């Protein structure tokens, strides 16, 4: 006999899983910093980059600087982002501060290209796990969220503004070649974070306009086992009423769909867009069917 878990039990398990992810993400990020970047005089952006440079200049422990410099931003987030986010962010930053001491002097490679690529991948994986667990590792992101509305710029633009000065300072301190490698690390990490947050199974949303919309819709449902939605529209040139098909498919199904549509109506109009995340009963049923 199966016993349903209570809300308290589910909440407790959820918190344990989140703590494991936060700890794992922080230690992976710490390994990326100490194993690849710092031994090769490279930095990350934001408060982490500032901490690395200050630690190099003052010889103060990097973990202490990471915690102390991020502390004001943690309190800044309390009003804007809520208590849970602040607690989880404080925990993640504490774990990162601990991890850089654990992995201190763990020098993996002297090859600058390998250090750049693998440092970016490892760092992005760690930061991605932290962000996926509703926390942050860097105070500049929190500050950017706070300033975005007041300054009239996007969060990404504000972060890039700060990083411009940070990487310029790194150029004077470590040399311009190391600053440029650091910028590459940042972009590699950025792409890996996207993969961690959004996954590799990128779907496609497809909009089809055709005079044989119903026939195309029936075939899509029958041959691809994909749900479709019919939308009403009107042609801009002709003024005629049009039936529009909308559906979401995987990348593997895209070629089949295009062949199917062209077979029925070569004059049809097809628009395809990337969809990073899809949820719904139909999607869950389809995924469950594939797993059996």
Q: Which residues lie closer than 8 Å to 275 by C-beta, 6 or more apart?
A: 202, 203, 204, 205, 248
pLDDT of residue 276: 65
Number of Cβ within a 10 Å radius of residue 40: 22
- Of 219, 216, 246, 242, nearest to 230 (Cα)? 246
CA torsion, ordered 137, 41, 155, 144, to nearest 10 deg: 60
* Entry field: residues in the chain: 292
**pLDDT per residue of the chain (292 residues) written in tens, 0 to 9:** 444 556 666 677 888 888 999 999 999 999 999 999 999 999 998 899 999 999 999 999 999 999 999 988 888 777 667 788 888 889 999 999 999 999 988 888 889 999 999 999 999 999 989 988 888 888 887 777 777 667 677 666 778 888 899 999 999 999 999 999 999 999 999 888 888 876 665 678 899 998 889 999 998 998 888 889 998 888 777 778 888 999 988 776 888 888 899 999 888 889 988 876 666 545 444 544 444 4
**Helix/strand number for the chain, H first, E second:** 11, 4
Structural Rg of the chain based on CA atoms: 24
What is d(CA 124, CA 136) in angstroms, rounded to the nearest whole number? 12
pLDDT of residue 246: 93
pLDDT of residue 118: 95
User: Using an 8 Å Cβ cutoff, are 72 and 2 in contact?
Assistant: no
- Of 206, 227, 246, nearest to 284 (Cα)? 227
pLDDT of residue 1: 42
CA torsion, ordered 189, 194, 196, 199, to nearest 10 deg: -140
Number of Cβ within a 10 Å radius of residue 29: 28
Full-model pTM: 0.72
User: Using an 8 Å Cβ cutoff, are 62 and 51 in contact?
Assistant: yes
CATH fold for domain 203-291? Alpha-Beta Plaits (3.30.70)
CA torsion, ordered 77, 78, 84, 86, to nearest 10 deg: 50
Report domain extents, the chain: 11-198, 203-291
pLDDT of residue 72: 86
């Amino acid at each position: 006999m199966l016993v349903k878990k209570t809300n308290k039990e589910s909440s407790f398990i959820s918190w344990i899983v989140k703590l494991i992810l936060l700890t794992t993400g922080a230690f992976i990020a710490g390994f990326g910093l100490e194993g690849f970047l710092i031994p090769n005089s490279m930095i990350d952006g934001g408060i982490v980059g500032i901490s690395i440079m200050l630690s190099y200049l003052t010889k103060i422990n990097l973990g202490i600087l990471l915690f102390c410099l991020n502390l004001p931003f943690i309190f800044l987030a309390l009003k804007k982002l809520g208590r849970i986010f602040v607690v989880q962010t404080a925990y993640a930053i504490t774990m990162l501060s601990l991890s850089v001491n654990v992995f201190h002097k763990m020098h993996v490679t002297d090859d600058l290209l390998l250090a750049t690529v693998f440092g970016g991948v490892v760092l992005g994986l760690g930061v991605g796990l932290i962000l996926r667990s509703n926390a942050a590792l860097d105070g500049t992101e929190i500050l950017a969220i706070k300033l975005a509305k007041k300054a009239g710029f996007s969060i990404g633009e504000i972060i890039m503004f700060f990083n411009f000065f940070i990487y310029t300072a790194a150029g004077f301190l470590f040399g311009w070649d190391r600053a440029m490698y650091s910028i590459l690390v940042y972009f590699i990490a950025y792409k890996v974070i996207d993969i961690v947050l959004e996954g590799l199974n990128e779907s496609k949303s497809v909009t089809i306009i055709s005079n044989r919309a119903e026939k195309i819709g029936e075939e899509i449902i029958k041959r691809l086992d994909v749900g479709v939605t019919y939308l009403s529209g009107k042609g801009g040139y002709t003024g005629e009423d049009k039936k529009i098909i909308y559906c979401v498919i995987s990348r593997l199904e895209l070629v089949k769909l295009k062949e199917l549509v062209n077979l029925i109506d070569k004059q049809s109009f097809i628009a395809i867009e990337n969809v990073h995340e899809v949820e719904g009963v139909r999607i869950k049923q389809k995924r469950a069917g594939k797993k059996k």
